[in-house]
A and B are shown apart, each in its own frame.
Chain A
Amino acid sequence: AQSVSQHNHHVILSEAASLELGCNYSYGGTVNLFWYVQYPGQHLQLLLKYFSGDPLVKGIKGFEAEFIKSKFSFNLRKPSVQWSDTAEYFCAVNARRNNRLAFGKGNQVVVIP
């Protein structure tokens, strides 16, 4: 079964700072990769996803992620965060053979105005 690791569970940064959240997965086969965002008190929303093609994926709200197959990584980035980016961010992976998502523990990001 696949597993997902997210480090630095709590991240605190100031507005305009750059953000990078790491995501590593363990699965040797072909995968689909996702980043979801959960704003305070809300449900999970899709931020971006990678199925195939260009490994640099651009999502909503200025976020992007890069799939590096050799490193089993799918790190999320945003060059300049805003206070409204305060949220919890989840990386998720599923093997192409099945529809079951494995989620990481999440990164709680707090952006200070």
Chain B
Amino acid sequence: DAGVIQSPRHEVTEMGQEVTLRCKPISGHDYLFWYRQTMMRGLELLIYFNNNVPIDDSGMPEDRFSAKMPNASFSTLKIQPSEPRDSAVYFCASSSWGGRDETQYFGPGTRLLVL
């Protein structure tokens, strides 16, 4: 398996622009997680899905952030409008549950810089 795939790997945009981050989880995994990592706040869980349904979005900072999972192999995290304080590395992770391996596997991340 190719692992968790994220795109783009780097994104530089200007304040006010819409940003869309993409994630393809490991095939067969039924959980998908979006995290944000910054120097100040460390690793934060933004939202997670189970079987394409959002389970907990309490970590989403504000209404500018939204996430979708239209099918089992694709999820997006959208920021609209973006602000400089959104600059961070955004990680997607996936896992299965109830089986022998309940480990979360992380993607390579998207480094977002909002100018």
A residues contacting B by CB (< 8 A) are 32, 34, 36, 42-46, 49, 51, 90, 92, 94, 99-101, 103, 105-106
Contact = CB atoms under 8 A, between A and B. Distances in A.
Given A100-B45, A100-B48, A103-B42, A44 B97 contact: no
Contacts, number: 40
**B interface, how many residues as a size bin?**
20 to 34
B56 interface: yes
Contacts of B104: 34, 92, 99, 101
Given A43-B106, A99-B104, A106-B43, 15 more contacts: A32-B102, A34-B104, A43-B91, A43-B107, A43-B109, A45-B106, A46-B103, A46-B105, A49-B103, A90-B43, A92-B104, A99-B50, A100-B45, A101-B33, A105-B42
B34 interface: no
